[in-house]
């Protein structure tokens, strides 16, 4: 038996009210997680007429995915910068290859081949030859490269160091200057496109 309210899933009432299909939700807004279930349910009920509470902050997707204001990238370790850069680079690669639709295994193989350490090492060599890095960005590359711990289990430790350096640079650019990060990713896109067309 369906009821008009669902305590465990605040969107259920929107689903039920529209007789089996979800209502169009504002893509840049979702109520804050710290609000009570009752507040979430009320805001879901008011969504048909466009009313929003005055105290509800709106955040864009990029704001939600950006570091907190107190983040100090110059004080972050190369490993932490690479941790963020890894996610940004992986999303960049996945977003480029998800269309046209491929079998999941083919998509996974393509993505893995582009995010593996050896390929990122190749990209880093291209960057050093052709992309104008600032002095600060070169320092970040060195921090990333030097943050890698030596391991006997790695087949190619130099490639892994290059990979971490590249990811640290992407993470740093993403945190410090999204315009510069965008410029850098566009440049990488051209390098990858050229490489893929040569295959």
Residue tagged active-site, from 86, 106, 162, 193: 86
Whether 162 is catalytic is: no
Three-state secondary structure string covering 71-127? CCHHHCCHHHHHHHHHHHHHHHHHHHHCCCCCCHHHHHHHHHHHHCHHHHHHHHHHH
CA dist 137 and 174 (Å) reads: 12
> Do residues 164 and 78 make contact, with C-beta atoms less than 8 angstroms apart?
yes
Cα 52 to the center of its chain, rounded Å: 28
The candidate with the shortest Cα–Cα distance to 138, out of 173, 103, 113, 177, is 173
- Active-site residue numbers? 86
């Amino acid at each position: 038996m369906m009821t008009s309210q669902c305590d465990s899933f605040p969107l259920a009432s929107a689903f039920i009210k529209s007789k089996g299909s979800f209502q169009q939700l504002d893509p840049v807004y979702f109520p804050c997680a710290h609000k009570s279930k009752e507040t979430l349910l009320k805001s879901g009920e008011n969504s048909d007429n466009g009313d929003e509470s005055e105290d509800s902050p709106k955040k864009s997707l990029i704001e939600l995915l950006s570091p907190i204001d107190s983040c100090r990238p110059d004080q972050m370790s190369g490993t932490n910068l690479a941790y963020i850069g890894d996610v940004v680079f992986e999303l960049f690669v996945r977003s480029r290859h998800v269309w046209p639709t491929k079998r999941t295994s083919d998509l996974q193989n393509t993505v893995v081949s582009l995010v593996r350490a050896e390929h990122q090492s190749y990209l880093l060599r291209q960057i050093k030859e052709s992309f104008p890095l600032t002095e600060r960005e070169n320092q970040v590359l060195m921090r990333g490269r030097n943050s890698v711990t030596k391991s006997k289990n790695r087949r190619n430790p130099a490639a892994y160091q290059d990979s971490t350096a590249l990811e640290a640079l992407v993470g740093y650019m993403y945190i410090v200057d999204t315009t510069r990060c965008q410029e850098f990713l566009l440049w990488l896109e051209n390098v990858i496109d050229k490489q893929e067309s040569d295959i």
